[in-house]
A and B are shown apart, each in its own frame.
Chain A
Amino acid sequence: MKWSILGPEIYFLAVAAVFFIFSLTRPNGRRDFKVALILAVLGVAVTLASVLREGSLVDGAYQVDLFSQVFKGLLSVGFFLVVCLCSNLNGIQERRHSEFFLLLATCTLGMMLLVSSLELLTLYVALELTSYSLYALVPLRSGAGQQMEAGIKYFLIGISTSALMLFGLACLFGAAQTTSISELALKLPGLLDTPMAFIGLLLTLCGFFFKLALFPFHVWAPGVYQGAANQVAAFVATATKVTAMAMLARLVSMGDGNTSLAHVLIALAILSMTYGNLVALIQRDFKRLLAYSAIAHAGYALIGILSMNPNGYAAAVFYAFAYLAMTFTCFLVVVKVASDGRDLAIVHLAGLHRRSPLLAVALMVGVLSLGGIPPTIGFTGKFLIFTAAMERGYFLLVLIAMINVVVSLYYYIMIVKTAFLLEPAEELPAISLSAPAKILTAAMIIVIIAGGLFPRYLFQLARAAVQALL
């Protein structure tokens, strides 16, 4: 029963197979959604049931440990949450719905394989499975061609970074004569002074910088967030980011304690935060703004990883969870307010406090959490990250990050202002939420605030998970 530890992966493969069969039958959007929802709930259950499983397959190339299982849990939750948003999948033609769910499942499967990969080739194959699913998901939206531009941009930049990464993997192999990550972790600290190993590791990281939308690999993000269907954008913004944070933590931990690597990462973190926040200041489209805010958050998350100490990795894991919760909440508002599947300009949020007080509160909690105002999970995540960075003595980095936080508060508070203070140009009807949608919204608010106030168990889980890395 050695293969039983692959429960979540096998399950999501089966989900993909179900939707593959559906895609061959007559299109039926309601059926697809209902089946997807049930399968997603089961998926969360299956994944959580296997959280404590441990073991390794294929000569250590595939490792199942707490670190990978925690992230698989997060990914299955992310999959479930995104499926929850699909009750009105208006941005995508009905005959494509089953393909949409199919690609969503394969993408989740790819990411699950990714977080368990302890071998460079497995890792690359899993990453490509994820990427190709996304390349197809992004242009799936029905529309006037904006989605095509986004899709092509995403594809071209994606394969370019993929090529860079492949080159990096080759360099790593050349320097260390192994493709096993656990062996690399033993050899690399001694080898990182050689240019080949150093550049190899850095280029390998590029593949995940791209997924995280870290400066200078961010150029796809605004277009994809805006051009893809709202649900797809929500998936790209939550699940793929979480995976990228996990993989960066895993790869950076191989070069533990290397100062040159830390310096490169510090530079990237500062550039990413500053660039993302400054450009976000002038955005008018809400999803586009979230894209730039994601670029900034890539920088914050990287601070935890580049601290290269247990608290830092744990803080990054915590932040991945926090980021999933708060970004999803913002996209929940996007999907519900723009229920016909259009893009949501910030001005269209005006009067939200009357149209739907619950969504307005959720939006406020979500953006304030992104802005790092306590008592939200976003603040606690930042606090943990800053503590870890301070343990390394990066005072200036923390100060720059805090200045960035204040800059970002300007555009976050403008969203709150629009939702609570401004009135729409013409009278808009109230937004009626179904009972499950109300429960989901309220649950997200509670998760964000409770996660901020009671970080104890989550942080302990994160610390236990990163033990597997070290």
Chain B
Amino acid sequence: MTMELASFPYLSSILLSCLLGLLAILLIPREQESLVKGVSLVFSGIALALSIYVYCAYDRALGGLQFVEKVRWVEPLGIHYFNGADGFNLPLILLTGIVHFTGVLTMWELRGRVKEFFAFAFVLVLGVFGFFMSMDLFFLFVWFDVSLFPMYPLIAIWGTTRKEYGALKLFLHVLAGSALVLPGIVYLGVASGLQTFDILALMQPGVLTPGQQRFAFFLFYFGFGILAGVWPFHTWSPVGHVAAPTSVSMIHAGVLMKVGAFGILRVGIFLCPLGWEFWAPVMAVLATIGIVYGVFVGLTQTDLKYVIAFSSVSHMGIVGLGLSTVTAEGLTGAVFQMFAHGIMTALLFSSLGYIYDKTHTKLMPDLGGMSRVMPVASGYFIVAALAGMGVPGFASFWAEVTVFISALKVYPLLGAFAICALVLSALYMLRVVQRTFYGQRNERYAHLPDVSFGLGLPRMILVAVMVLFGLFPRLMLDLIQTAVIPFMGGLPR
């Protein structure tokens, strides 16, 4: 893989904008809530602008790892501060920037302990950005845990339904995952005999024996898989989603679950390709069960957040299915699906968040006819639901099509199952839309105002992104291909 050293540390600047935002928030007196929100918006805006810049400035003709920053950190152990951007992580860096920015906008009406909320949110996003761009296993793990622990206070303090239970369940589950990941990382660093935690050095063919790769991949797949919502380790995710406040659900379902999937890709698949091939059938079966299971459980829910949460389990199954095909198309589709699902879920939670803030319920039987009460707010949700069904014109359509085509080639039976399940997913999304937004209007909510322009802004941005990449999927597919094709070509066969 080629490496382009950065002339200006754009990637570190993204991290720095989060860090400075955090420090600025900590220094503001807690009474000045609107100032805290303003500062959060500015710094998340800077992070977003930088991630858009990096996404656009990446030289696709050249490919490889660009914007590289590499500093020796702890020499005796071979730990480096090593960041880089390639076709795999750029979509996710962009996704994090978008979801963070829109998340701050979505929480504009937050009351109570505003300063702490945004401080924890910035810590979380700092961890996520760092995780996506890091190319050193030590830092990768540091960022991984930095992104996980703020989830506990964020859900436990500002959450809603069974928040303490949900927060604790989530926290212990994902950290149990890290209990598998850390031994795996240390094992690889030591087993290679290279005295390094540099991913590029460790991924060279021949560094790790097939047996080591199979063993380590197992650890990474399940360790990160817990966070990616792989069935049967997904149980924390619906409970956590439902308990979390709106923007935390957005970041959580939109970005944090991708952290898990990306961990499988960056650590598991990059370093242990032979282990990947070995475990791929298991991954495929678990992913397909996840897709089907998510759809069927989603069909019976009455709490709207549960519906979205189970659709996330199902959609993350598609990512897993793409990864399990061990083909270039499958990998491309999986990365694209990570991005598309991130935007789509963020939109679903964001638009539901507005309705919940006004009506204080998210139970389908209580709502009804909402499209006549708040047509614009309902519109956002319906758009997201359509995207969730994989309707053409949205980014998720291309992602899902790419994954399913490759899955049908490699695992015809499982692929067929998954496609059937997805047809059913249209059924449950339409059921939600029909029950919540059409039908009998609940007069209790008839007086509620529709979403204002300012509050609608984050939803508009998310819709625009979804449509942009739906109409011009090559903006992203080409970028992902620059990483996937050399990577698959370099695999030992």
Contacts of A353 in B (CB 8 A): 116
CB under 8 Å from chain B, chain A span 390-411: 390-391, 395, 398-399, 402-403, 405-406, 409-410
Please judge, given known A-B contacts A387-B77, A390-B186, A456-B74, whether A375 and B142 are in contact too, CB under 8 Å: yes
The docked-state distance in angstroms from the alpha carbon of A406 to that of B116 is: 25
Contact assessment for B149 and A390 in the assembled complex, using a CB-CB cutoff below 8 Å: no
CB under 8 Å from chain B, chain A span 356-390: 357, 368, 373-375, 379, 383-384, 386-387, 390
Contacts of A453 in B (CB 8 A): 142
Interface of chain A, helix or strand or loop or mixed? Answer: helix
The docked-state distance in angstroms from the alpha carbon of A383 to that of B164 is: 30
Contact assessment for A390 and B179 in the assembled complex, using a CB-CB cutoff below 8 Å: no
Q: How distant is B218 from chain A, measured CB to nearest CB, in Å?
A: 12
Contact assessment for A383 and B186 in the assembled complex, using a CB-CB cutoff below 8 Å: yes
Q: Which residue of A lies closest to B26 (CB)?
A: A361
Contact assessment for B182 and A386 in the assembled complex, using a CB-CB cutoff below 8 Å: yes
Interface mask (B189-231 → A, CB under 8 Å = 1, otherwise 0): 1110000000000000000000000000000000000000000
Q: How distant is B239 from chain A, measured CB to nearest CB, in Å?
A: 16
Contact assessment for A379 and B145 in the assembled complex, using a CB-CB cutoff below 8 Å: yes
Q: Which residue of A lies closest to B219 (CB)?
A: A399
Contact assessment for A311 and B76 in the assembled complex, using a CB-CB cutoff below 8 Å: yes
Contacting residue for B153 out of A406, A409, A416, CB 8 A: A416
The docked-state distance in angstroms from the alpha carbon of A373 to that of B142 is: 8
Contact assessment for A374 and B145 in the assembled complex, using a CB-CB cutoff below 8 Å: yes
CB under 8 Å from chain A, chain B span 174-189: 175-176, 178-180, 182-183, 186-187, 189
Q: How distant is B285 from chain A, measured CB to nearest CB, in Å?
A: 25
Contacting residue for B149 out of A357, A368, A459, CB 8 A: A368
Contact assessment for A375 and B146 in the assembled complex, using a CB-CB cutoff below 8 Å: yes
Contacts of B73 in A (CB 8 A): 456
* Cβ-based interface call for A413 (8 A): yes
Q: How distant is B342 from chain A, measured CB to nearest CB, in Å?
A: 24
Interface of chain B, helix or strand or loop or mixed? Answer: helix
The docked-state distance in angstroms from the alpha carbon of A455 to that of B142 is: 13
Please judge, given known A-B contacts A399-B183, A421-B157, whether A384 and B152 are in contact too, CB under 8 Å: no
Q: How distant is B184 from chain A, measured CB to nearest CB, in Å?
A: 10
Contact assessment for A395 and B116 in the assembled complex, using a CB-CB cutoff below 8 Å: no
Contact assessment for A455 and B153 in the assembled complex, using a CB-CB cutoff below 8 Å: no
Contact assessment for B142 and A420 in the assembled complex, using a CB-CB cutoff below 8 Å: no
Contacting residue for A421 out of B138, B156, B182, CB 8 A: B156
The docked-state distance in angstroms from the alpha carbon of A375 to that of B144 is: 10
Interface mask (A446-470 → B, CB under 8 Å = 1, otherwise 0): 0000001101100110010000000
* Cβ-based interface call for A417 (8 A): yes
Q: Which residue of B lies closest to A402 (CB)?
A: B179
Contact assessment for A420 and B153 in the assembled complex, using a CB-CB cutoff below 8 Å: yes
Pair count A-B, CB < 8 A: 89
Contacts of A311 in B (CB 8 A): 76-77
Contacting residue for A413 out of B76, B141, B152, B190, CB 8 A: B152
Q: How distant is A237 from chain B, measured CB to nearest CB, in Å?
A: 24
* Cβ-based interface call for B171 (8 A): yes
Q: How distant is B305 from chain A, measured CB to nearest CB, in Å?
A: 21
Contact assessment for B187 and A390 in the assembled complex, using a CB-CB cutoff below 8 Å: yes
The docked-state distance in angstroms from the alpha carbon of A368 to that of B148 is: 12
Contacts of B145 in A (CB 8 A): 373-374, 379
Contact assessment for B172 and A398 in the assembled complex, using a CB-CB cutoff below 8 Å: no
Contacts of B138 in A (CB 8 A): 383
Most buried by B among A383, A398, A410: A383
Q: How distant is B434 from chain A, measured CB to nearest CB, in Å?
A: 39
Q: Which residue of B lies closest to A364 (CB)?
A: B153
The docked-state distance in angstroms from the alpha carbon of A417 to that of B149 is: 12
Q: How distant is A259 from chain B, measured CB to nearest CB, in Å?
A: 19
The docked-state distance in angstroms from the alpha carbon of A230 to that of B35 is: 41
The docked-state distance in angstroms from the alpha carbon of A115 to that of B74 is: 27
Contact assessment for A387 and B186 in the assembled complex, using a CB-CB cutoff below 8 Å: yes
Q: How distant is B366 from chain A, measured CB to nearest CB, in Å?
A: 28
Please judge, given known A-B contacts A416-B153, A421-B156, whether A409 and B116 are in contact too, CB under 8 Å: no
Please judge, given known A-B contacts A416-B152, A456-B74, whether A395 and B171 are in contact too, CB under 8 Å: no
Contacts of A373 in B (CB 8 A): 145-146, 149
* Cβ-based interface call for B168 (8 A): yes
A-side interface residues toward B, CB under 8 Å?
311, 353, 357, 368, 373-375, 379, 383-384, 386-387, 390-391, 395, 398-399, 402-403, 405-406, 409-410, 413, 416-417, 420-421, 452-453, 455-456, 459-460, 463
Q: Ordered nearest first, which 5 A-B pairs have the shortest CB separation?
A: A402-B179, A374-B142, A390-B190, A390-B186, A398-B183
12 cross-chain CB contacts under 8 A: A311-B76, A374-B145, A383-B141, A398-B187, A399-B180, A402-B183, A406-B178, A410-B172, A413-B152, A416-B153, A456-B73, A463-B76
Known: A311-B77, A375-B146. 5 other contacts (CB 8 A): A390-B191, A409-B172, A413-B171, A421-B164, A460-B76
